[in-house]
A and B are shown apart, each in its own frame.
Chain A
Amino acid sequence: MILLEKEFSVYPENEKTNMSLPFEVGEGVKSLKFTFSYSPKVLTDRKRARLLIERNIEKDAGEYAGEYPSWEEFLPLKNLITLSVDDPTAYRGCAHRQAECMEHIISDSFASPGFNKGAIQAGQWQAVLNLHGIVTEKIDCHLKIEAGDFLE
């Protein structure tokens, strides 16, 4: 059963913020499946990449900027969005990795890497998207959350 399905876009001004998407879980649910994808992953516009990299080095390296290699060594720049999950009472984990298409299962007896297995309590849960890095002008996202009897 689909508990939530949503398509949306995020923009550079959303970088370094979280986007909470609440969803209701009923009684007797055995496991939850989160399918999340976003696109694009890589910034292909070299001019924009150069601008972002040079700004990054200027801000973070300051007077030491000359000790860093050319901007091209830092290509490609990538978008990074991670998915974290909260049950009605606690943080259930996060999948902090680069993949732009992901599927995670959380159940009583099993959880995908990054998440804690345990009882699927009824009540309001949250899928929280962590917008770590947005280097393209826009990122299109798709999130689907299903309740069911999913296997690992």
Chain B
Amino acid sequence: MNKKWYACEMHCHTLHSDGDFSVSGLIETAVARHLDGIQITDHNAVSAHAEVIDPPIAVLKSIEWTTYFGHMHAMDCKKDVDWRDALPDNIDEKMRAVHEGGGLVGVCHPFQLGTPICTGGRWDYNVKDWSLVNYMEIWSEGCPFMNTPNKRALDLWHTLLDKGYRITPTFGRDWHRSTKDVYHSACTYLLCEGDTLTDSAMKRAVNEGRTVISMGPLFSFNIGESTLGDEIEAGEHEIEFTLSFERMEKMKVPERVKPEVIRIITKGGERVKEVSPAYPRTAITLKANSWYNAELWGTIDGKRDCLIALTSPLYTKGEI
């Protein structure tokens, strides 16, 4: 089946926790922003889910565990796992319980300031097995590229990829209300099967590591038939990039972002190669047992050297 990219917002709050949006108001605002899907993640509550009836876009029904030692998404978990007795040293068993309920686990804004400024907002859990974590919000809030905690989250993510954990990167606006948003076009793009996005396809894309986080443009790459989340043989390959401003044009904001360079990143955050967005094909030698992702850098609202977008990795097999 054909795969398509869909623009999504992965972190939303409603009146069922501390958001200002009604459920229908959130969905309407998402439609106005040309989003194809959202994930509702109210703090410690699932009561918003019952109000999602025949929505015009895909709505993934989840919860944000707003605990004392970190905030964590339990995505589409069918089992009621108690967030209240999560402690720094039992988080692995809590995450296992979420998986047993069919859910995926996402670490939210790991370097946000915590208690008392934002209660529990800092990730203070001692995760023993990071393979229990499906995704990590390496970008949070409405102005991602200017955010110090996001730089630290990116470093943590690289460190975990280096250790062999395949964690999917996401952006979460932590959307509570419209007013404080700066960059309406920022989103997480998910690569999904089918011509209409569904909540289960969103979940699958996150599980399989097929995401791009972006200030607006859709930016991705493929190596032959293989793309983000896939595992391929090491060796000589040709890598091909795609860049699209289609959604930003619909939102009438394409001029805010000017891509200047594509960087291919691997283990240790090493920049393997730089490519001009004007020449989107290049030869590359991939090492075995590694990960490769792409970053798009350029100018945002006149500010130079900004990270505009980054992709999930593509992985290489262990031995040649």
In the complex, are the beta carbons of B47 and A56 less than 8 A apart?
A: no
A67:B80 contact, CB within 8 angstroms = no
Is the beta-carbon distance between A115 and B45 smaller than 8 angstroms?
Answer: yes
In Å, the complex CA distance between A96 and B115 comes to 15
A16 touches B80 (CB 8 A): no
Query: Across the interface, which residues of A come within 8 angstroms of B119, CB to CB?
Result: 80, 132-133
Q: For the complex formed, measure the closest distance between the CB of B70 and the CB atoms of chain A, giving whole angstroms.
A: 11
Asked whether A132 and B120 contact (CB < 8 A) given A60-B111, A90-B80, A96-B17, the answer is: yes
B20 to chain A, nearest CB (A): 10
Once the chains bind, are B44 and A84 in contact (CB under 8 Å)? yes
CB of A98 closer than 8 Å to a CB of B: yes
Q: Is the CB of A53 within 8 A of B80?
A: no
CB distance from A31 to the nearest CB of B (A): 15
Residues of B within 8 A of A78 (CB): 116
Instruction: List the A side residues contacting B290 at CB < 8 Å.
Output: none
Within 8 A of B (CB), among A44-103: 52-53, 56-57, 59-61, 64, 67-68, 74, 77-78, 80, 82, 84, 90-91, 93-98
Interface contact A114-B45, CB-CB below 8 Å: yes
Distance from B52 Cβ to chain A, minimum over Cβ atoms (Å): 14
Within 2-18 of B, Cβ neighbours of A (below 8 Å) are at 14-18
Taking the closest CB of chain B, its distance from the CB of A81, in whole angstroms, is: 10
Task: Give chain B's interface residues, CB within 8 Å of chain A.
Answer: 14-18, 42-47, 50, 66, 68-69, 80, 82, 84-85, 111-117, 119-120, 122, 148, 152
Asked if A105 is at the interface of the complex by the 8 Å CB criterion, the answer is no
Q: Could you say which of A15, A61, A82 contacts B44, with CB atoms under 8 Å apart?
A: A82
Q: CA A57 – CA B17 in complex, angstroms?
A: 26
CA separation between A41 and B1, bound complex, in Å? 55
Asked if B84 and A97 make an inter-chain contact with CB atoms under 8 angstroms apart, the answer reads no
| Chain B residues within an 8 Å CB radius of A132 | 66, 68, 115, 119-120
A84: chain B residues at CB < 8 Å are 44, 84
A128 within 8 A of B: yes
Beta-carbon contact of A91 and B80 below 8 Å:
yes
In angstroms, Cα B119 to Cα A117, docked, is 28
Contact of A77 among B18, B82, B112, B116 (CB under 8 A): B116
Which residues of A pack against B, CB within 8 Å? 15-18, 52-53, 56-57, 59-61, 64, 67-68, 74, 77-78, 80, 82, 84, 90-91, 93-98, 111, 113-117, 128, 130, 132-133, 135
Q: Which residue of A lies closest to B22 (CB)?
A: A113
Determine if B148 and A68 form an interchain contact, defined as CB atoms under 8 angstroms apart: yes
Known: A18-B84, A64-B148. A56 touches B44 (CB 8 A): no
Q: Is the CB of B148 within 8 A of A114?
A: no
A96-B44, A128-B84, A132-B68 known; A77 vs B15 contact (CB < 8 Å)? no
Give Cα distance in the complex from A96 to B113, angstroms.
18
| Secondary structure of the B contact surface, majority rule | loop
A residues within 8 A CB of B42? 96, 114
User: A16, A82, A114: which has the most chain B beta carbons within 10 Å?
Assistant: A114
Task: Tell me which of B80, B85, B114 contacts A56 (CB under 8 A).
Answer: B114
Q: A61-B113, A116-B47 are in contact. Are A16 and B16 (CB under 8 A)?
A: no
- Whether A98 pairs with B18 at a CB distance below 8 angstroms is yes
Give the docked Cα–Cα distance between A128 and B85 (Å).
12
Residues of B within 8 A of A91 (CB): 80, 82
Bound Cα distance A61, B17 (Å): 27
Q: Is there an interface contact between B113 and A16, defined as CB atoms closer than 8 Å?
A: no
Can you show 18 pairs from A to B with CB atoms below 8 A apart?
A15-B115, A16-B68, A16-B120, A53-B116, A59-B114, A64-B148, A64-B152, A67-B148, A68-B148, A90-B80, A91-B82, A113-B47, A114-B16, A114-B17, A116-B46, A132-B68, A133-B119, A135-B116
Q: A17 to B68, alpha carbons, bound, how many Å? A: 8
Distance A125 CA – B69 CA, assembled complex (angstroms)? 26
B residues in contact with A128, CB < 8 Å: 84
CB-nearest residue of chain B to A49: B116
Q: Which residues of B contact A116 (CB under 8 A)?
A: 46-47, 50
With A61-B113, A68-B113, A93-B46 already in contact, 4 other A-B pairs whose C-beta atoms are closer than 8 Å: A56-B114, A56-B116, A78-B116, A93-B44
